[in-house]
Amino acid sequence: MQRLILMRHAEAERAAGSGRDRDRGLSARGRSDAVAMGRALAARGLRPDLALVSPAARTRQTWDLLHDAFGDVQIRDDEALFNGGADTLRRLVEGAGDEAGCLMLVAHNPGVHLLAVEYLVESAASPSVLERMTGGFPPGAAAIFSVDAAGRPVLEGWLRPRDLAGE
């Protein structure tokens, strides 16, 4: 793996008709943000070979809207991605690392956020970068990491839906 994209699902509805958290779908804004994020990533040449996607409705819908910008991508869902902690997400990312040049993970907070911060700390990111990331990982945001020869992710970019206005 040369590149890793960690993404939180786009903005979701507050509740699902079933009452189950995993059934919450995207809000209208979330659908719009997911389409914009897919276009923005693709315009930057960021097209995953493999996507690890939580089976929750909001992550699947986010992926479905992103996917249109990427073309053919292998997808894998894993129950462990649904509200998995940073350690679980890391294990899944590392386990799939040899399968893709660009790997994308679409999952949930706090796991996505905590994993991104862990990678920043491990790569000795500057205090300003750490401060920016510790401020939160909003719905629909993506942290893009290049992976060095030793397998360490180093932050390459940080995109939030609100930053994409006009793209």
Per residue of the chain (167 residues), what is the pLDDT tens digit?
999 999 999 999 998 889 888 999 999 999 999 999 999 999 999 999 999 999 999 999 999 999 989 988 999 999 999 989 999 999 999 999 899 999 999 999 999 999 999 999 898 888 888 888 878 899 999 999 999 888 889 999 999 999 887 66
Strands of 153-159's sheet in order across: 74-77, 50-53, 102-107, 3-8, 142-147, 153-159
Distance, in Å, from the CA atom of 151 to the CA atom of 154, rounded to the nearest integer, reads: 9
Closest CA to 35 of 52, 8, 71, 10: 10
Tell me the residue range of the domain where 83 lies: 3-164
Question: Total structural domains in the chain?
Answer: 1
CATH code, domain carrying 52? 3.40.50.1240
Residues whose CB is less than 8 angstroms from the CB of residue 129 and which lie 6 or more positions away in sequence, other chains included: 120, 155
Q: 3 — phi, psi (to 5°)?
A: -145, 145
